[in-house]
Each structure stands twice: as C-alpha cells, then as structure tokens.
Structure 1
Amino acid sequence: MTNQTTLGSLGGGVRTYKVSCEQSVGTLLLVELEAKQSWFKDFFQDWFCNKIVVTTPEGETISFPCYKWLNSKKPVVSLRNDKGQWKKYHDGVPYIIDAQEPSDLPEDVRFSFTKDIEMKFNAFRHVLIYVLIEYIRQHWDSDEFFGYQFLNGTNPMAIRCWRTKLPDNFPVTDDMVKSSLGGSCLQKEIQEGNIFLCDYKRLSGFEGNTINNKKQSLTAPLCLLYSTPEKKLIPIAIQLNQKPGVENPIFLPSDSEWDWLLAKTFVRSAGFHEHELNVHLLQTHLLAEVFSLATMRNLPSAHPLFKLLIPHTLYTFQINVMARNLLISDDGVFKKYTAIGHDNAVNTFLPDSFSTLTYSSLCLPDNIKERGLENIPNYYYRDDGLKLWDIIHKLVKGVLTFYYKSDADVKGDPELQNWIWEIFVYGFLRKESTGIPRSFSKVEEVIKFVTMVIFTVSAQHAAVNNGQFDFGGWMPNLPTTLRLPPPKKKGESTLETFFQTLPDVSTTVHGLAVLFLLSKKASDHCPLGVYTQDLFSEAVARWHISRFQNDLHKRDQEVNIRNRNLPLPYDYLKPANVDNSVSL
C-alpha cells in the first residue's frame, strides 16, 4: 500500500511525500494525519494539506480530501474517504449514508454530548411533562380549525386550489354543498378560486396494520374545502375512500354531529401518515441526508459552497440513523403504533411518494403557484416561508456571485459539478422527470438550487416538524391509527362508536411520546443564521452573512408583531425557532 500526501507551506512551496506499507490494512474508511513539532520548541511551520491518496495492494486508489492548514494548535486531523459512503435504502427512494448505528458515524458529525444526553433523558420522561395546547383542545372539533390546519398545521402542503371539474370519483353535487356555500353554486365558486381539494389517494389499497391483535383502519379520503367571504377555510364534503358508491357516502356538515366528526377524524388520521412519511421523512430528512452526504464527499473544506452548506448538515446523519432504527425499522414505532405499519410505509408508500416528487415542489415560490395558493387568506406558512426563501436567496446570491463571476466559472468547477451529479444520481435516482439538474451551466441555476437546499433543511423542516406535539398532543386531532372501519351508512355513528374508533391507550401514549420527542429542541440547537464556526475569511462573504443575520432578526420582530393579533400565533417559521439543519 502506498500513501501519497501533498503539502504546501506558508512559504509557498509544495511537497509530495510517499509512505509505503507492505501489508494491506483492509477497507479504508478513515485516516489520521499528524503534523509533529520539530525539535526546535518554538518553531512550527504551518502546512496546508491538499489531500491524501492511498493506493492499495489491489490497485484501488482512495482519496481522502483535507484542504486544511495544520499547525501546533491542532496538529492532528481525521479524514474520511471520498468513496463508498452511499448505501441503497429501498427500491425507489433516495440512497442513505452507509451506517447502521450512530457509533458508525465519524465523530465530527455525531451528536454533541449535551444533545445525546438530552435526547435520552427526554425520551424517558416525555409523558410526565407533556402539556396540551389549550386552544387546540378546545377547538379541535370545529370546522374552522379543521380547515386552518391545512394551511398552518403540521402539513401545509396537502391542499390545492381546484379550478376544473371535480374528479369523477368524487361526485359532489350542488345540492350537497349549497348551504355550506351560502346559497352559491359549486361551479361558480370553483371558477372564482374559492374551492380547494385535498386528495389522499396515495393511501388507497393499503390493508390496515394489526396493533395489539386488533385490525386497524386506514382510509384514502377526499376532502373538499371552501374559502368563505369571512376568510375562513372550512370543509364542505368528505368521502372516506376513493371509489364512490352506496357504502362510501359523501359526508357533509349537515349530517349528524358524530357522522361529521368521525369523517373529519379519518381525514386527520390519513393526514398523519401523508405528513410523517412523505412531507416530513422523505422531503426533509431523507433529502437533507442526500445533500449533506454529497457535500461532504465532493466539496473540500476550502470550497465556498462547503463553507456555506456545512452548518446546515449538523446532526442530520445521526438523527436519520436513529429514525431508521427506532421509528421506521422492522420493530419500530410505525410497525407497532400506526395504521399503515412498516412494510407498507417503506416498501410501497415512500416509493410512491418519491415518484411524484419534483424540483419545483421543493422550491416554495414555484410550489405555491402550482397549487394555486397565492391569494388564500391567513396562510401564514406561505407568508413566512416566502419571506425566509427571499432572505436565504439573498444570502446565497451574495456569497456565490462573489466566487462565481461568470457562467464559465460554474461550468469549470469540477467539484461543484460532481456535487450536483451525485445528488441527481443518489438522491433522485437519475430521474430527469423530477426536474432536478444533473449539472450546472449558469450561476443563477446554482443560486436557486442552493437556496432550495438551505430552505429545505432549515425552514421547511421547521414548518413540518416543530408543531407535531402542538397539534398531535391532543390525540383525537391527529390519531396515528383508528380501530374501527369507516362508517358505510349515515346516521349510525355515536359517541360510543367514536371512542371505539380512536386508538387504544397504549398506542396513544407511545404516539404522544414520539411526537413530543421529535418536537423538543436541544439546548445546543443552532437557530438559522447562528454559526458556531467562522468559516469565511473574505470580507465580502462575511458581510453577506452579517446582513443575513440582520435580515433574520428583523423578520423575527415582524413575526412577533403579526402574532400579537392572532388567536393562535404561528411561529414555526420565526427565524429564532428555525434550526440551521435537520437535527430533530
């Protein structure tokens, strides 16, 4: 085995050292480089290490990027290789890091001691300290709050404005909804952009999981909503399965109290699964892992994009490894306490969700337009999200245009091109239909993509993660499963059947425990724009970061002022509450 190291000194010289080893040391994942002080005690020359290249006896060449200065204050550095860290997770979903346990991860990407202890402590005592949000407990069963959650709850991505004829499998008539529309007709309200649809068709065809020897129910509902002249979003029709028929009635607000409440509860349970698996797990956690791994594999620490992105990778690998082991494993939480179970979730639902994922759906301005939600009132997720998107975009544009002066600079950066290529290959499985670029040819393309990356791992994750216990702490509002099948006739639901449908006590306790743990911030969390390392030395880049931090502070104050007049403040996208990375 031959080791070749290239070093440069402050004096400007470059030297290459070769070290030979007669025996193979097996698979190389990590090397340590130590710069020792000379016998002159007061003399130590700084050295810049470019990389270490190892040639194995079998002829394989493995590169360990360094791009760091070594000095007497920190003479030892640990370097990861730039190969072999992608691992196939399941067919049809993004690749993951090759690590089974947190201990398999490099030390510098694992939890701090403080966060590790807090995660274990909180996991032990969560049930003892949970407190219900009083507002949600009082309003969870109202139509107005039901509609509000589609805009500002755990999943603000589910609904879209419906401007054409309703789907054939959802035969809502004017007579059904006339009273809900204040006497107006359905087609008129559709044309005026006041009708919204949420369709959980991805959940169709799944057989319910078995929990505590009891078969569970999982429906694939369609829910029609109306934006009223009073600026409220309310449900006006619910069908609990995709195929219309006599045994699949369309429930209406004019039905009996328990029929209507039960129909809404089935929608909320379906919403739990769509949110946790697609919007939360796939579109933030798994993509964040892809972005983080591609960054560490392809961008040297001296690269400006590495400096810009590395704070947004903090703790992502470990939290995802833990999630795969504890939540979506063969014996994890989804297997034991959700209606969809493990196999359906991982082998079918996730690939199906990924098949519809697009680049534009990850870019908030494009997403809002595609779903026709530019003008719906009281959509605080949209308002706050677009503000943060603009603030992040301004930072990214300011920093990257300083280093990339022209499109030619982008085309000529092999490390940047390798970064996006690996994201395209391992993150989006070479699917050109997603719209994800496979290479960059323009500066503006890099700016938009990097803005999306930072927004996804910070703001988007905060929006779909931080309110889980707030909205799910009152279990009937966000049940992880339901025990009875949906009603096939109107007029048969009662208070007794409603309680029989809700999850049992054991399932409820474990569900609340997980939601609490996932919503609890560690004391060492890093809010958006708070950087623990001073990575940029150039004055221009540092100025843009300072402006970014000022913009975030100003936005904090704006959100505080807005929230004073809201009965339920929306602060999930308040910058102080947004972490730099997917760390929970």
Structure 2
Amino acid sequence: MADEGMRKRMKVEEKKVKGTLVLMDHHSISATFDELWGRRVSLRLISTGSGEVGKETYVKKWVQTVITPSTKGESTFELEFDWEDVVAPGAFLIINRHQKEFYLKTLTLTNLPDPDPLHFICNSWVYNEEHYNNRYRIFFSNQTYLPGKTPQGLLGYREEELNELRGDGTGKREEWDRVYDYDVYNDLSQPDKGAELVRPVFGGTIDRPYPRRCRTGRPPSNADPNTETRIGILHSLQIYVPKDERFSEVKMADVYAYGLKLVSQGLLPGFESVWDKISDEIVGGIEKISNHKFESVSSNKFNEFSSFQDVLNIYQGGLPVPKSSVLESLREKIPSEFIRELLRSDGEHLSKFPLPQVIKEDRSAWRTDEEFGRELLAGICPVVIRRLQEFPPSSELDPMKFGNQNSRITEDHIRDQMDGLSVWEAMTNNRLFILDHHDPLMPYLRGINETSTKTYATRTILFLQKNSTLKPIAIELSRPHPAGDEAGVISTVHTPASDGAKGTIWLLAKAYANVNDSGYHQLVCHWLHTHASIEPFIIATNRQLSVLHPIHKLLHPHFRDTMNINALSRQTLISAGGLLEKTVFPDKYSLAMSCNMYKKWDFTKQALPADLIDRGMAVEDSTSPHGVRLLIEDYPFAVDGLEIWSAIKSWVHDYVHIYYQDDEEIQNDNELKEWWKEVRTKGHGDLKNESWWPKMQTREELIQSCTIIIWVASALHAAVNFGQYPYGGYLPNRPATSRRFLPEPGTPDYEELEKNPEKAFLKTVTPQLQSILGISLIEVLSRHSADEVYLGERDTPEWTADKQALEAFERFGAHLRMIEKKIEEMNHDKKLMNRTGPAQMPYTLLYPSSEIGLTGRGIPNSVSI
C-alpha cells in the first residue's frame, strides 16, 4: 500500500509544469490593498491539440516581490501548473484582478514532455479584467504557424485575438485599449482657436490623398465637425496609441528630457527680454509658445547673427543662457513630471549644444562647391538628386494653370564649366545631374512668400568631374509672376563665383537651394516616405496577421515605437502652428506640399534599386551582385545602401522559404491575403487603384514587399534622420528658411552685401531664435535612445522557436557586421573622395551599429524617433 501511494504521488508530481513569470511596473501600494481584498493574478494554460483550458494557477507572494524587485526592475514569480495533456500548451490566459496594470514580459515553462523550455514572449501591458470583453488576455508561445497549419486547439483563440485588436471602429479610445484602426489626418487643425490654425483634412479625397494614421476616436471640434479635437500639449505624451506601442520607461524618460531641452534651450537662451512675454504664455500651455510670432521679436538684439563667429558661439558657450531663472519659472508653472528629467540616459548635460560634425575638422569647408555637391550623395538627403536627361529641364505643372514653368537655364550659362563638353555630350556621357525642387514647391510658393518666408523655387545643375565629385554649375531661382500664376515665373540663373558681390550671391543661391532641400527632406523624404507611409503597414499587420504568423514575427521588430513617435509628431510637430511649421520654410503649407507629393508615391519604387533606376542614378545590370550598376561609382548612400538592401533581401528570402514551400501556399494564406488587401484598400486606400501594387500571389512578391517595408523602416529612415544634426546642426550649411530675396544692385541691402557679406548672408537665412529652436529640434531627432535595438538584433533571443529562422537571422547579423568593416575600409580610401569630402566627415549613416546618443551612425530596426 505504501509503495502504491508513493507511485500515485510521483504520478501527480510528473503532471506539474514549472513556470517562471517575469513582469515589470506593478505597484506596491495598490498591490498591497489588492492582496488584502483577496484579488489575484491568475493563469490558465491552453492545450495545443484540444483547446482545453487547464486549471487556474495564482501568482503568489505578489506583495513581497513588489517590495523587493530585482535590480533590473523586473519581478520574477515561480509557478506550478497541473497539466495532464501529452503535448505542450500553445497559449495561456491571464486575468489581472488588481486595479493597476502591469507589464508582462515573459512566461517560461519547463518540466514538459519536450526537454527544451517553452517560451511565451509577451511584452505587453495587462490591465484589470474589467477592460477586456472576456476578462482575460491571451498569449501564445513563440511557435510559428501559417493559418492553415495552426493546431486545432489554437484556431479559435487566434481569431479571437485578432478580433480584439480590430475593434469595432467606434468610440473614443482609452489608454487600456488595444485597438488598431485607421483614420485620416483630421487632427492637425485647431479651428476653435481661429482661422490661423485651420488646416485641411489630409486623406480620403482625390485632391488630398494621404496615408492613414491610428484612429483615436476623439470627438469633433466645435467649429468644424470634420476636424478632431486636440488634447493640450502638456498632455501630448498621453495621446492614444495602443498601449503596447508606447515608449518604454527608459525612452519616455529621454523624451521628457528632450522636451525640456527643447523648451529651455531651443526657445529661451539669450532671450531674456522676451522671456517675460513667453513665460506668461506657458501658464496656458506650451502650445502658445509654438505659436509665438518669431517676427515680433525681430528687433531684439539677440535675434540676429552678425557673423559666422556668432553662430559658432552657440556651440562654444558664448551665448548667454538664463538657465536657472528659466527653470525656476518652469518649475512653478509646469507640472513637475514634465521637467523631472534634467539628465538624459546618455548622461549629457542639458544645456550644451554639441559641435556639429560638418564643422568639427574645418569651419569653412561647408562653403565650398565640392562640399555642396558631396552632400547630395552623402548627406542627410541623398535621395533626391537625379541624372539630367533633358535640357533645358521642363516642368510637369499644368501650363493652363501655372503658365510656362520650364527652365530658363541655357547652354551659354554652363558651357565653360563642363571640361569642354557640349550639353548633349555631357548628358550622353552621364555627366550632368540635377537637384530639382521647382515643381514640388511652385504651386505653394505665392502663399509661402506671403508669410515671414521669402524664398525661391530652385533648380541646381551639377557636373560630374573625373574624380567622381559633383560641382554645381548653375542655380535657377524662380518666383511666381506678379501678374498671376497663369503668367508663369520670373527666373534668374546664377553661376559659380568666389569673389566680391557675385561670390556672395552664389553662396546665397546655394543657400536657397539648401532651404528648398531642407524643407523637402523633412516633409517628403523623412516624414512622408518613412514615418507616414509605414504606419498603415503597422496597423494592418496587427489587425490581420496573428502573432503566430511568420510574417508578423518578421515585421514586428521594425514597427517598434513608430506609432508613438508619429502620434507625438501630429501633436507637436506637424500640427497647425507646430514646431515643424515654425522651423521649415513652407510654414502652414508644409503638410499640403507633403500631401501633393504623396500622389506620386509608388510602393515598388521605395525599393532602393528601383529608386536609383527611377532617378537615373543607376541602370539594370544582371552581372552586378545587386542587379544594378551605379552611374556615379562613388555615391556613398547608394553604395552602402545597396549592401544593406541586399543583406535584408537575402535574410527575408531565407525566412520566407522556411514557411512557404511554393507560391500556392502564398495564395492559400487567408491572413496574408487580408493583410495585403487592407494595406492597399484602407491603409493606403487613396492609392488603392494604382497598378503598381504587387498582387501578393508569389513568394517573390512577398519577399520584395517585406524587404521594402524593412528597408524603409530601418535603413532608409536612418539615412535621412540621424544625420540631421551632424549636417544641419550648423545652420549656414543647411538653413531651413530664408526671409528675404536677393538684394537688387543700387539698394542699401546690396551695398551691405558688398561690404559685409557674412552679415548679409545671415540676414537672409534663418534668424537666431528660430535657428536655435530648429537646431534643438533636430538634435532631439538625431539621437539614439538607451534602449535602441539595431538592425540584425532582437530585443528577445527567444523571439521564435524555429531553429532554421534563428540560424538565418544569425547569418543576417554576420552579414551586417561584414558590411560595417567594408564601410570603415571605404571611408579610409582616399581615392573615394565623396566618402569624406572637404569637411573631412566620413559617411557613416548606414553603418549598422551605434552607441547611445548623437553618433551620426547606426540603423535602428524601426522608425523610432
């Protein structure tokens, strides 16, 4: 009898599955009272085969663990589950009966039939049961299944979870909601505050197409039922995105600190005479600061740079900064949580402007024609330059509406600057290139020039020299005709000069071209082509692809933080009167210009090889390892980018072939079909009828599409974002606005241009207050946070249970490390003159890894800032 009892006890013990639960951010006071009231956190395992739910297991010792958490901020709980099934569970249910939410990281099960641990990678907030339809949350193991191969016991839960994420499209979203839904950009305007803050709705019409954003469900404004109400700017960090899309605590602390730096350093240093005015406005919300009229303080002695040394002073500590009085005033008038982070996680002091990389080695190299040309190939916006294929350049603008917009540049302007070649010979030999911002800008230029901005639409012709460097040889400056749009334009053409008034005018012509390029970069290449265009893919992926789906696992790391940073951008940057309108030249026309360029967006041309071919910078070449041959061999962005592109595509190819044995399996995947349908018809619904959309019928179409998504979210965004401060932190190199036209001979302004060219230049471009605001903003945008995850990395080693996928990912990481070494070698090759240029600034924006902070390198997995 004794032996039989022992055998029974051993049999029961064999059914005990051991579990280790790791979570963060649960609160000791709340938990203590919940324990006293007998509330619990409980889990139940779900059978893979039958779907049967196991017995409830409670998380014990909640209070004690909360009081003494681990040094990493994690709390670990040991659990035991009764488990009678012969196969391992595939999911579990968790119920939180505490009033406070907590962040669930992982559950690991052992003592299963399989000797290997079973991992559940959760990384999700769990709220009180009252916030869920079924009172519980579902989490799946790290196994991967196509829909048709999902174990029977998990099918219902797979669909239930997707239904939860889709929501019903109604109601205002609350912080605990997990709903991913679409909306148009109807949240940028503030009609209740006056006509100056009214902007159109972007998206949903033929005239104003735009990608969709995350729906928040806020009620309409009083003045316009089509415009969503906005939350106060002091509450910007609480704008709705699904809670799992929000920044981590580490990154949120950085955002708080960056915001404080932007206010205290970007708006206030050196402006004690205007501080009293601005301080009163802070009481009503910092949004009033963003609406502060920069021109109203133009007479202030601190509002002008008189020399390039004045500009350098802001990096060398020469600008007076009333830091202590400013912060004391802020402490009194702004909620404490807004200014609690005086030091960021990277340890850098709050008040210092780092020296931009472009002037570290040489303070004047930025002025050279060679550096101007190099930055079109290896700068912050190397994705606009095109090969010139017709001369003179023509316009695609409607001549019935805009008159003759074709270029006035003639062969006589450039004949002597092309090594003896004619224009036809130079074009035939792929020696002429163009930076053309004329057509994107001209429809808005009359309105823009009625604001504080005064600028031109520019065309810049460049000649490819024998050493593979580009030299600007003509810049056309165009303004709308005074007689009306139908009368066309007034244009002047300027050619290189180095001395006297003509030399200063040539420097100013390059500045106007850079003003155009700076605005186009921010609004189109950066915001539209990465941030805005990726968000619909994030929404569709969460709505239509289960976490069990291999494509969800492939893409999910490349969506981290994007919805949160986009929501913050809509709240503070791209909104009416926001920081972007205040720091780039199109002002209130900024999003309208971006919207107009979305009409030409083509998903397939976001692939780097296709983009290079489309711009005439490369031709197809089957003998090349990347399938294209560059027409400028020393084109650092393209050279490094093609290496990264090919590495991503190789990884995606290997991954997709693990799960799809043939094209028929693609066609039979209903989740994949619905995902792609929703991307086209809802997320990018204004362009749903375009013929270029892949049909998603073959493995190759899936591989190409996923490669494009990953490329845009990681490498393309890195290339156009993290160099903003290294190149543009020195405002003369990339001014964001201009505020007067070229002076006419015989005027006092022209006389000043002859006698004091530095002062004349600086009076033309961005004024001091606006400059410091812009510099502060791009410093924030150019930094890596402490919790950044880079291309080739995952934040959890057990992200999948599939060994083949893990091996393929390891090969991908090794490939990227090889590319890093190759980039380092090229940057030391003196024959490759565009790698460093006159500024002696190595091109590192597509170097995969980075440290924390302002590094000018590193490719995060996602659009995370």
Return the TM-score normalized by structure 1: 0.86
- The reply to whether residue 192 of structure 1 matches residue 192 of structure 2 is no
CA contact (8 A) 2:636 2:843 kept: yes
Give secondary structure in 2 for the equivalent of 1:128: coil
Give secondary structure in 2 for the equivalent of 1:575: coil
CA contact (8 A) 2:446 2:480 kept: no
Cα-to-partner distance string for 1:39-76 (whole Å, 9 max, x where unaligned) = 9x843447545999xxxxxxxx99x9956159xxxxxx
Q: Give the match for residue 58 of structure 1.
A: none
Q: 1:155 to 1:51 in 2, by over 3 A?
A: farther
Which of 190, 215, 219 pairs up with 1:98? 215
Q: 1:339 to 1:8 in 2, by over 3 A?
A: same
What is the alpha-carbon distance in structure 2 between the residues aligned to residue 378 and residue 483 of structure 1? 35
Shift of the alpha carbon at 1:438?
6.2
Structure scoring higher RCO (CA < 8 A, sep ≥ 6) equals 1
Q: 1:210 to 1:243 in 2, by over 3 A?
A: closer
What is the alpha-carbon distance in structure 2 between the residues aligned to residue 486 and residue 424 of structure 1? 46
Shift of the alpha carbon at 1:88?
1.1
Shift of the alpha carbon at 1:486?
4.1
Q: 1:180 to 1:35 in 2, by over 3 A?
A: farther
Q: 1:298 to 1:51 in 2, by over 3 A?
A: farther
Which of 751, 764, 773 pairs up with 1:501? 764
Give secondary structure in 2 for the equivalent of 1:198: strand
Give secondary structure in 1 for the equivalent of 2:862: coil
Q: Give the match for residue 443 of structure 2.
A: 205
What is the alpha-carbon distance in structure 2 between the residues aligned to residue 463 and residue 561 of structure 1? 19
Matches within 5 A, 1:119-130: 119-125=255-261, 128-130=352-354
Shift of the alpha carbon at 1:170?
1.5
Q: Which moved more, 1:531-540 or 1:43-52?
A: 43-52
CA contact (8 A) 1:37 1:43 kept: no
Q: 1:414 to 1:487 in 2, by over 3 A?
A: farther
CA contact (8 A) 2:47 2:53 kept: no
Shift of the alpha carbon at 1:123?
3.5
- Which residue identity is paired with 1:143? D
Q: 1:474 to 1:355 in 2, by over 3 A?
A: same
What is the alpha-carbon distance in structure 2 between the residues aligned to residue 490 and residue 579 of structure 1? 53
Q: Which moved more, 1:118-127 or 1:311-320?
A: 118-127
Give secondary structure in 2 for the equivalent of 1:203: helix
- Which residue identity is paired with 1:187? W
Matches within 5 A, 1:423-502: 423-431=679-687, 434-437=690-693, 439-486=695-742, 492=750, 493-494=753-754, 495=757, 496-502=759-765
Q: 1:370 to 1:574 in 2, by over 3 A?
A: same
What is the alpha-carbon distance in structure 1 between the residues aligned to residue 57 and residue 477 of structure 2? 70
Shift of the alpha carbon at 1:158?
0.9
Q: Which moved more, 1:484-493 or 1:229-238?
A: 484-493
Q: Give the match for residue 378 of structure 2.
A: 152
CA contact (8 A) 1:473 1:512 kept: yes
What is the alpha-carbon distance in structure 2 between the residues aligned to residue 239 and residue 162 of structure 1? 15
Shift of the alpha carbon at 1:210?
8.4
- The reply to whether residue 232 of structure 1 matches residue 269 of structure 2 is no
Q: Which moved more, 1:462-471 or 1:332-341?
A: 332-341
Q: Which moved more, 1:158-167 or 1:571-580?
A: 158-167
Shift of the alpha carbon at 1:177?
1.1
Matches within 5 A, 1:156-305: 156-168=382-394, 169-200=406-437, 201-207=439-445, 215-241=452-478, 247-254=490-497, 256-305=502-551
Cα-to-partner distance string for 1:368-423 (whole Å, 9 max, x where unaligned) = 11212122132110011111111000110101111011111001111111111121
Matches within 5 A, 1:14-413: 14-15=51-52, 36-37=57-58, 42-45=80-83, 47-49=89-91, 66=138, 68-69=140-141, 80-83=164-167, 84=169, 85-89=181-185, 90-91=202-203, 92-99=209-216, 102-103=237-238, 104-125=240-261, 128-133=352-357, 134-135=360-361, 137-168=363-394, 169-200=406-437, 201-207=439-445, 215-241=452-478, 247-254=490-497, 256-342=502-588, 344-346=589-591, 348-373=592-617, 374-413=630-669
Shift of the alpha carbon at 1:281?
0.2
Give secondary structure in 2 for the equivalent of 1:221: strand
What is the alpha-carbon distance in structure 2 between the residues aligned to residue 285 and residue 107 of structure 1? 19
Which of 3, 8, 13 pairs up with 2:50? 13
CA contact (8 A) 2:46 2:53 kept: no
Cα-to-partner distance string for 1:175-198 (whole Å, 9 max, x where unaligned) = 211221123221210111110112
Shift of the alpha carbon at 1:243?
6.8
Give secondary structure in 1 for the equivalent of 2:444: coil
What is the alpha-carbon distance in structure 2 between the residues aligned to residue 252 and residue 514 of structure 1? 33
Shift of the alpha carbon at 1:93?
0.6
What is the alpha-carbon distance in structure 2 between the residues aligned to residue 172 and residue 214 of structure 1? 28
Aligned-CA RMSD value: 3.1
Q: 1:16 to 1:117 in 2, by over 3 A?
A: closer
What is the alpha-carbon distance in structure 2 between the residues aligned to residue 354 and residue 406 of structure 1? 35
CA contact (8 A) 1:417 1:439 kept: no
Q: 1:215 to 1:9 in 2, by over 3 A?
A: closer
CA contact (8 A) 2:211 2:686 kept: no
- Which residue identity is paired with 1:537? A
Q: Give the match for residue 816 of structure 2.
A: 552
- Which residue identity is paired with 2:809? I
What is the alpha-carbon distance in structure 2 between the residues aligned to residue 328 and residue 315 of structure 1? 18
Q: 1:358 to 1:426 in 2, by over 3 A?
A: same
Cα-to-partner distance string for 1:493-545 (whole Å, 9 max, x where unaligned) = 54143222121111000000001000011011111111012222111111101
Unaligned runs of 5+ in 1: 1-6, 18-33, 53-60, 71-76
- Which residue identity is paired with 2:243? E
Give secondary structure in 1 for the equivalent of 2:443: coil
Give secondary structure in 1 for the equivalent of 2:678: helix
Give secondary structure in 2 for the equivalent of 1:352: helix
Total equivalences in the alignment: 544
CA contact (8 A) 2:210 2:686 kept: no
CA contact (8 A) 2:476 2:493 kept: yes
What is the alpha-carbon distance in structure 1 between the residues aligned to residue 538 and residue 464 of structure 2? 40
What is the alpha-carbon distance in structure 1 between the residues aligned to residue 746 and residue 393 of structure 2? 23
What is the alpha-carbon distance in structure 2 between the residues aligned to residue 378 and residue 112 of structure 1? 40
Give secondary structure in 1 for the equivalent of 2:763: helix
What is the alpha-carbon distance in structure 1 between the residues aligned to residue 428 and residue 746 of structure 2? 31
CA contact (8 A) 1:197 1:222 kept: yes
CA contact (8 A) 1:396 1:451 kept: yes
Give secondary structure in 2 for the equivalent of 1:485: coil
- Which residue identity is paired with 1:43? F
What is the alpha-carbon distance in structure 2 between the residues aligned to residue 393 and residue 65 of structure 1? 35
What is the alpha-carbon distance in structure 2 between the residues aligned to residue 262 and residue 463 of structure 1? 27
CA contact (8 A) 2:47 2:91 kept: no
Shift of the alpha carbon at 1:16?
8.8
Shift of the alpha carbon at 1:568?
2.2
Shift of the alpha carbon at 1:340?
1.0
Give secondary structure in 2 for the equivalent of 1:205: helix
CA contact (8 A) 2:392 2:408 kept: yes
